[in-house]
Amino acid sequence: MLKKFKSWYKNVFGSRRELVREETMDVKNHRVEIRDVTYFVAKALFTDIPEMIEIERAVYSGQAPWDSTAFANELRREKDRLYLVIRKNDKLLAFIGSTFDERTRDAHITNIAVLPEFQSRGLGRFLMGVMIKKAKQLNYKSVSLEVRVSNSNAQKLYRDLDFEQTGIKRGYYFGDHEDAADMVLYLKEEPEETD
């Protein structure tokens, strides 16, 4: 009988972890100050995809590693994916995407890009900080990512955020087959609240 009650209760009210996850993944559109400049942050929408691809082209010498189908597939998975965009004067300047894996308790940064003319203004650091905070709120063990071995600026940012290199993936990137450095930020476990 208790088992049936617990099952009914969970179906009706959800588990605490599920509620925390829903709240954590729900990002309201809002303004933020980054280095004394006001920007607009929002969850990425399907209508943002063309601009996200344009940012990738600007960052990756005319090549967009992801196409619209790949981005659309990611944005459809609202339960375990979170994509955010930063705008100024209605222009998309930067975005980040992450998967949140309940099984491994890892938030994996799938994609982050900032228009070249807006790099070194704290936008990438801000977006990484948001995803790290989300992972901590979910009591995850780690935040992981891959980065091109040639991208020393990004690697410096990740090291500044306490990521450490854990390996190399040979020929990882499509097209030029450049190697990727695996990097991980290990998060301290917070004691879980009990009801």
Count Cβ atoms below 10 Å from residue 8 Cβ, excluding itself: 10
CA distance 25 to 136: 12
Angle at alpha carbon of residue 46, lines to 40 and 47, rounded to 5°: 65
CA distance 157 to 129: 11
- Tell me the two tokens of residue 27: 């990002």
Catalytic residues: 146, 158
CA-closest candidate to residue 143, choices 96, 105, 107: 107
- Tell me the two tokens of residue 147: 């980065």
CA-closest candidate to residue 94, choices 60, 118, 73, 128: 118
